[in-house]
Structure 1
Amino acid sequence: MMIERFLLVPAVCAAAAVALVACGVKKTETVELNPDELEVQAPALDEITLVLKEDGKFYQEGRKKPFGGVDVEERIEVDADGNEKRFVIETPYRSGVIDGVKRTYFSGGSVREERHYKKGKPLHVVGYYSDGSKKLERLLNDQDVAEGPSKRWHRNGTLANEGSYDAHEEHHGIWKEYAEDGSLCGQYEWEHGKLKRIIFETDTQRGRRLVHYGEVEGANNTPPAAGVAPR
């Protein structure tokens, strides 16, 4: 939380309308604006240090009252290839607990995730692609992890999969997988994170399943023919 720099998000704007009023007559003139001269500021990274105390509430370091306000921090994630990804997180607090919508931003300034809370209790999370389209929606339990119904969408807006998680955010029950054209390509039965049974899957989906989930006893575990790539 001890970060001082700001993230600046370039605004894309080709023209703006300027209203001119003279002699009682309104005139609208279109003028060209240079996008390089326009900047929209993302949430500022602050210097607040919050401490979680035994009463379960957050306090600003050196203060006696529970924290109320918005804390903004930067998070760095490293992927499997060692590449760093930076995100800005904006967290609202009321009386020392998270209350409202906690937002995570991509480095470009668009919203990556919105986690909803009410008086410290997690409710649900909505994820987004960098272009702003919805990516996923899940319920949250008291441990702030997914539990219950879940849906995920392709970038084109069609449903990608739907199912449920158990209390440990593991696949549980029936899950359905959909191709980008909206057609059903796989239906599976899970038991607390373990794939137990294949109800249905296309050849293409079988290739994806072998890559991501592995083989299933008693099922067709033969990779699809060359040229049939996992979606």
Structure 2
Amino acid sequence: MAMDQRQKEYTEYYYVRMKKYEGNPMYKNSYETEKALYELMRDATSKEEYQKKFFGEKLNIKNAIALVKDQESARLKHYGEIKDPIRARGSQEILDVVDSFESEAEITTKIPKLQQKNSVAVSVDGFADYFFDDFPVLESLEVARRAEVPSRWKSEQEEYIKDTIAKGREEWQNRVVPNARQWDPNWKFDYSLIQEDRHRRRIPVPDSVVQRRLTEHKEYRGLS
């Protein structure tokens, strides 16, 4: 029996979708599910046949899951290569559960929730940036301490240093910490994060400078 116009259009549609992923090693799962959809539409002898298999075997759900798996697997590989375990954890958590989804509703509600959870973790991890963000102030304090000034300006110089540190500590307690704890109620600054690749590569200075700034930063922000 010749296929009707609708089936013909579906066949052409799924053929184009299948070809989109053909030969792409990043989308092996998507290619297989798109191929199954194309072959179903190509070979079905009636509307009833392809509808029964399409919905009965949940080919549309399998297709959506395949795309999620391909995308998150690629992200997981990338985050592993750049040594970003926080973002990698988000992809892994999705991969751990996506095969259990049985409806479009689960895919469209549970995955965004997992992504939002990971987004919060990434934001909290990003508070480590406060260290490098404070470098301009630390450099200004260093210049002030090293500057040789006439004796009549010594008190002004010392007052600048004292006032800058006081303001830094006040801002930390009154703005930085309350803001961070809106994201994580137990947050406290963790200096060990600075040495992890995802943060260290964003600080373009030698290790010796980082170590010196660590001590200065603790004094400036009143941390231990």
Normalising by structure 2, what TM-score? 0.25
Q: Which has the higher contact order (CA 8 A, sep 6+)?
A: 2
> Where is the strand percentage greater, Structure 1 or Structure 2?
1
Structure number with greater Rg is 2
Normalising by structure 1, what TM-score? 0.25
